Amino acid sequence: MAFKFFRPVGQFTKISSAAAALILALSICVAARAETIQIVGFGDSLMAGYNLGPDEGFPEQLENALKAEGYDISIANAGVSGDTTSGGLSRLEWSVPEEADIVLLELGANDMLRGIPPASTEQNLDRMIATLKERGQQVILAGMLAAPNLGEDYAAAFNPLYERLAEKHEIPLIPFFLDGVAAEPSLLLEDGMHPNAQGVERMVERILPTFRKVLDERSQEGA
């Protein structure tokens, strides 16, 4: 005897409707994730959050501040304490995923503290910026200033290199990453070099306008 299997039309319609609703919901979720702007903070201990607690580092505080303003972003921390521009150049390919939309490039402080020739620092940063741009990733460059004890000649060679690179590659520049925090004991750790949680909060406040501008321009351009 042959058996015929059938499903009542009404039940089939309900299941089809439920499946369609599920597919639609999944599609919306995937689209929402795709629209989230992926940002990478690529730098040294100032980015890594040296001696800071969870959610106290710069990428984490910046992400929270931008999300509080309604921006759909995600920021990954690719900071390595002690990193130089040479070290950054050697790890760039595997530290910054190609899926990233924006890269905040913050390196050079350790070059300066070690007295590395500014020309070498500039060359390494130049190559990193060029590589990221070739990938189609937007770069925001965070600048640094030479410590006074290194002398006027070193400062004259080191300080202008960030502005030169920003102009050459036509990218946004944060003139001094530690603006408002350097030489402020209440905003620094005991080492007098790295920001504490309050110091990072001030850095984020100073840098927010740059990110707002970049993100708003991307939104207007439909990027």
81, 126, 191, 216: the catalytic one is: 191
| Residue extents of the structural domains in the chain | 37-221
Task: Decide if 191 is catalytic.
Answer: yes
Distance between alpha carbon 123 and the CA centroid of its chain, in Å?
Answer: 21
Read off the pLDDT of each residue in 91-116 and give the average, rounded to a whole number. Answer: 97
Separation in Å, CA 146 to CA 76, 130, 175, 176: 27, 24, 12, 10
Question: pLDDT tens across 154-199, in order?
Answer: 999 999 999 999 999 999 999 999 999 999 999 999 999 999 999 9
pTM of the predicted protein model: 0.84
**Topology (CATH) of 37-221:** Rossmann fold (3.40.50)
Average pLDDT of the chain, as a whole number:
89
SS3 sequence, 103-157? EEEECCHHHHHCCCCHHHHHHHHHHHHHHHHHCCCEEEEECCCCCHHHCHHHHHH
pLDDT for res 222: 73
83, 101, 111, 194: the catalytic one is: 194
Q: Is the pLDDT of residue 57 over 70?
A: yes
pLDDT for res 33: 45
pLDDT for res 139: 98
Q: Is the pLDDT of residue 12 over 80?
A: no
What's the rounded Cα separation, in Å, for the pair 14 and 218? 42
Task: Decide if 45 is catalytic.
Answer: yes
45, 83, 101, 111: the catalytic one is: 45
Task: Decide if 194 is catalytic.
Answer: yes
Separation in Å, CA 220 to CA 71, 120, 199, 217: 13, 37, 32, 5
Q: Give the ranges where the chain is alpha helix by DSSP (H).
A: 9-35, 45-48, 58-68, 85-95, 109-113, 118-134, 152-158, 161-169, 197-221
